[in-house]
Structure 1
Amino acid sequence: MTDSNSAVSQRLDEVLDKFDVPAPTLVEMKDDFLREMRAGWEAGEGLGAPSDVSSIKMLNTHIDVLPRGYEKGVYYALDLGGTYLRVLRVVLGHGEKPEVAEHRKPIPKGVMSSTSDDLFDFIAVTAKEMTDKFEDEGVIPAGFTFSFPMSQETITRGTLVEWTKGFSTAGVVGEDPAALLTKAMEKRGVPIYVAALCNDTVGTLMTCAYQFEGCGTCKIGMIIGTGTNAAYSDPTLGNLVVNTEWGGYNFRKVQKVLNEYDRAVDEASPNPGKQLYEKTISGMYLGELTRLACLDVLKDYSPGKQLPDFLTEGPLDSKFVCAALEEDGFECDDEVVRIVFRTIGDAVVERSANLCAAGLAAVAEKCGIGRENKRHMREVCVDHGMPRCLTIGVDGSLYLKGYHYPERLAMAFSKIVGDVMASLIHTVHSSDGSGVGAALMAAAVSQ
């Protein structure tokens, strides 16, 4: 930047500091995260901890077996959890790559804020469009990926705890989404029954386990896209899969991580004071964090000058930020604005990966990875069936398109647990976990 813009440069440095999380703070956050996880399970016993005890719900999924690769047949998956509804027809055959057909529809904003009848009728109608196309015989088992906080009584029955991701549909909180869907499908004559109810993160874990069947290293599934969550197979609980619902983590002991832009985004959201972790790391919010921080830096820049519309007309989509970070992905005539936007966008994505890695490191420690005593870690691995290396299946747009997000996670792991322990943690893309994973779960419980 030129000397005439020194004030902007100085303010930029100040704002960048607000998104910088030093390694000791990440370690502190990891430890706090782990305490919240333990408190969440102990207090809620798998049904969801009271918010005054833990901000991480730690929900029992009633699943203790991961796919083994021998599942076969035709299964459906219904995936509700973001801006689209997906209906998938999945053909499995003895460990072969699943054959997948997909029908996708954007979820109308009106449906997201309407009634339960409107929402589940929309799902049933979309599912029928798919079943009418293929005309499979009989009633087909399906996995229903419902990617919102649920307390689960059985593998086919749960209760919505609260809406997230911009949904506010009336008449669903406190109800069983599988029962509501079954009612709607029966009304529409859809030849599908719900064989398994899960969320996208559990589905991602299922797909990863299927992809890596036989080696048993995939113990964690994570989503980092529109929203975020993690599920893991806990060896101390008989390999029970626990749905953490970690997006609710509230930085109880590490409030210093949050800045004024985080608070502004939180206050403008449909659920102020909730899902703070999600609001700092997930794709739904990173664009707006970037925009607000840029406006702060540029507030005194050439007062008579018009800033680009993408800065003045929010909220800003995170996809725009990630595209802008690519070499030729961003056009802006004003060099100062371009530099500020790309620099802050990079800092916001970097912080997202750092905070995400802190949460993952805590979950990994629950799986036996990351202990300071390496000899103890090896003994735990042998005695309790914990993996010597840990594979984390990841799905979500931010992981795939977030400008080197996997590499950022790997570097963050090293800062948090050290190079040796970080070398034991591997993230892989778990392809279409929220869709194929649900079908795999339906297959596992139907055979």
Structure 2
Amino acid sequence: MAATNKIDGLVDGTNEKQKGPDLPTELRDELEKLEQQFYVDRKKLKQISERFQQELEEGLQDHGKNIAMYVTWVLGFPTGKEKGDFLTLDLGGTNLRVCWINLRGNEHEIGIKQQSYKMPDSIKTGDASSLWSFIASSLQTFISDHSLNGAFSNPLNLGFTFSYPAIQDYIDQGILQTWTKGFDIKGVEGEDVASQLRSAISDLNLPVSLVAVVNDTTGAMIASSYHDPKTIIGAIFGTGCNAAYMDKISNIPKINSSDEIKKLDPETPMAINCEYGAFDNARNVLPLTKYDEQIDATSPRPGEQAFEKTSAGLYLGEIFRLIILDLHSRNIIFKDQDISKLQSPYTIDTSLLSNIEDDDTPDLSDSGNEFKATFNITMTQPELQFTRALAKLIAVRGARLCATGIAAICRHQKISSGHVAADGSVANKHPKFKKRWGRALGEILDWSEADREENDESGEGDESQKGPIVLTSAEDGSGVGAAVIAAMTLERWGKGQKAGIKGSGRE
């Protein structure tokens, strides 16, 4: 018998059940049970998005809420005319990336020189001194290698991409709230990372002035809008998930008492870094399965980042692995085979799920060969068909959930059209993410079929999404975005508009 499968219908852009893969009864029954757990219908999407909007607005009202809604002191979108030469730093999970970026204003051409410096693992769990010394010495090497000392403005202006939860009372300051991404460096949480970096730069007597601290999501939005004025939101759909957008300061009650805010017109736009991976930590509306609960229970911070753990790239492969282990323990799949290579957590990368779905070889031979080479597992044809359906099931749920946060922002802002500039491996590398995401967004926002056909700008043929709001590939937020934000900050400073700029060393 053939399994009936909602997921194939969704991929084809309908909500109708269609014939799924031919499977033995045992596998067919398991797939149908999993569909019941993982399929998120339109009604549930709307419920999640409505709660999402409530939590976003709670984060604007008060500090310390579930979704932090950090103010960034990036005041408005760029004009596209910003010019200048800038150093940028991006502190990632594995490497430190240093760039020298030349913004050319109206030409919209950007010159970039860049270098990555591998961060020793010892630094990630070391102390603040080791971290900042490594960053400052990497800057010193870059400046020397590219002959920047004395050849350009003195000092060299720096934009620092620091993509960890941080409170910013000024654009050139950032108080780290908590480390993420496997970092646990002593002496940084609760401290101003800008001040610590400046001290390390001063110790080496480098000709560098830190202008702005930037989150990568905000950077993606600003870098994309520098070229594309239709940009409305910046998003990250990769290892984690997050979004940034512009809101009027009059819509951010929690900062109304700030002396810096009182210097500004209430209609001034402010970029908000949502940090919404923590949505629904109370677990009121998310459709959690026992596999999601397992991931949370064994994570470094149980009870936190609930939304991220159901939808972000770091976790999709792990959900797949846990299901396979469960089925094998019940002698349903990979019978009489050694699956010891699947026992280690996070052994399966989300890219494997993409490869399985994108496999167009006869009898899914590429998928079979990859499983054999990676895990020493020989798969039967029904097992190949089942794992493909499972990969699709998990990816579809992830894409549909990712649409709920963007829909919540659009409803809050009454946005009806524009471009969501997305960065991250899931958004840019999964072959069907954009179409699935777009379909779900239309369901939540009640687009008509005419609305969905209105716009098709992604240029990806049959896999493209259609609608008044489309997902575009973000520009380089950690490099170009940081440079553009630094340019905008210097321009405000030069005009005497110093609200939200501490200006250390510039008076």
* TM-score for both structures, normalised by structure 1: 0.87
SS of equivalent to 1:438: helix
Cα distance, 1:36 vs. partner?
Answer: 0.5
Conservation of the 8 A alpha-carbon contact between 1:165 and 1:227: no
* TM-score for both structures, normalised by structure 2: 0.77
Deviates more, 1:125-134 or 1:395-404: 125-134
Q: Distance in 1 between matches of 2:90 and 2:147?
A: 20
1:113 maps to 2:132? no
Structure-2 change in CA distance of 1:339 and 1:254 (3 Å): farther
**Unpaired stretches in structure 1, ≥5 consecutive residues:** 45-49, 370-387
1:377 counterpart residue number:
none
Q: String of CA shifts for 1:99-138, please: whole Å, max 9, x gaps.
A: 1122123433332222222222222222222211112232
Letter in 2 for 1:186: S
Cα distance, 1:413 vs. partner?
Answer: 0.8
Deviates more, 1:119-128 or 1:136-145: 119-128
1:411 counterpart residue number:
439
Conservation of the 8 A alpha-carbon contact between 1:15 and 1:297: no
Letter in 1 for 2:201: M
Of residues 65, 69, 87 in structure 2, which corresponds to 1:58? Answer: 69
Q: Distance in 2 between matches of 1:257 and 1:193?
A: 47
Q: Distance in 2 between matches of 1:13 and 1:307?
A: 26
Q: Distance in 2 between matches of 1:225 and 1:250?
A: 19
Of residues 365, 379, 389 in structure 2, which corresponds to 1:334? Answer: 379
1:186 maps to 2:202? yes
2:97 counterpart residue number:
86
Q: Distance in 2 between matches of 1:84 and 1:322?
A: 25
Q: String of CA shifts for 1:345-386, please: whole Å, max 9, x gaps.
A: 2222211111110010001112212xxxxxxxxxxxxxxxxx
Of residues 64, 69, 81 in structure 1, which corresponds to 2:80? Answer: 69
1:173 maps to 2:189? yes
1:233 counterpart residue number:
246
Letter in 1 for 2:241: T
**Unpaired stretches in structure 2, ≥5 consecutive residues:** 3-21, 252-267, 372-377, 453-466, 492-507
Letter in 2 for 1:417: L
1:245 counterpart residue number:
275
Q: Distance in 2 between matches of 1:158 and 1:221?
A: 20
SS of equivalent to 1:257: coil
Of residues 286, 297, 300 in structure 1, which corresponds to 2:316? Answer: 286
Cα distance, 1:251 vs. partner?
Answer: 5.3
2:114 counterpart residue number:
102
2:29 counterpart residue number:
10
Conservation of the 8 A alpha-carbon contact between 1:57 and 1:244: yes
Q: Distance in 2 between matches of 1:392 and 1:196?
A: 24
Letter in 2 for 1:424: P
1:380 counterpart residue number:
none
Q: Distance in 2 between matches of 1:407 and 1:302?
A: 31
Q: String of CA shifts for 1:381-413, please: whole Å, max 9, x gaps.
A: xxxxxxx52221111111111222111111111
SS of equivalent to 1:101: strand
Of residues 123, 130, 146 in structure 1, which corresponds to 2:142? Answer: 130
Q: Distance in 2 between matches of 1:157 and 1:256?
A: 35
1:197 counterpart residue number:
213
Conservation of the 8 A alpha-carbon contact between 1:287 and 1:317: yes
Structure-2 change in CA distance of 1:307 and 1:68 (3 Å): farther
Of residues 299, 315, 327 in structure 2, which corresponds to 1:297? Answer: 327
Of residues 301, 306, 313 in structure 1, which corresponds to 2:337? Answer: 306
2:9 counterpart residue number:
none
Letter in 1 for 2:69: M
2:303 counterpart residue number:
273
Cα distance, 1:303 vs. partner?
Answer: 7.5
Q: Distance in 1 between matches of 2:399 and 2:118?
A: 28
Q: Distance in 2 between matches of 1:33 and 1:405?
A: 21
Conservation of the 8 A alpha-carbon contact between 2:159 and 2:214: yes
2:352 counterpart residue number:
320
Cα distance, 1:186 vs. partner?
Answer: 2.2
Cα distance, 1:433 vs. partner?
Answer: 1.5
SS of equivalent to 1:78: strand
Letter in 2 for 1:174: G
Letter in 2 for 1:325: E
Conservation of the 8 A alpha-carbon contact between 1:364 and 1:390: no
Cα distance, 1:234 vs. partner?
Answer: 1.1
Q: String of CA shifts for 1:258-305, please: whole Å, max 9, x gaps.
A: 111111111221111111111111121111111112222333136852
Q: String of CA shifts for 1:288-345, please: whole Å, max 9, x gaps.
A: 1111122223331368522555533331222222223221553244134433332222
SS of equivalent to 2:90: strand
Conservation of the 8 A alpha-carbon contact between 1:81 and 1:148: no
1:426 maps to 2:457? no
Cα distance, 1:56 vs. partner?
Answer: 0.5
Identity score, percent: 31
Q: String of CA shifts for 1:221-250, please: whole Å, max 9, x gaps.
A: 111112121110014643111111101112
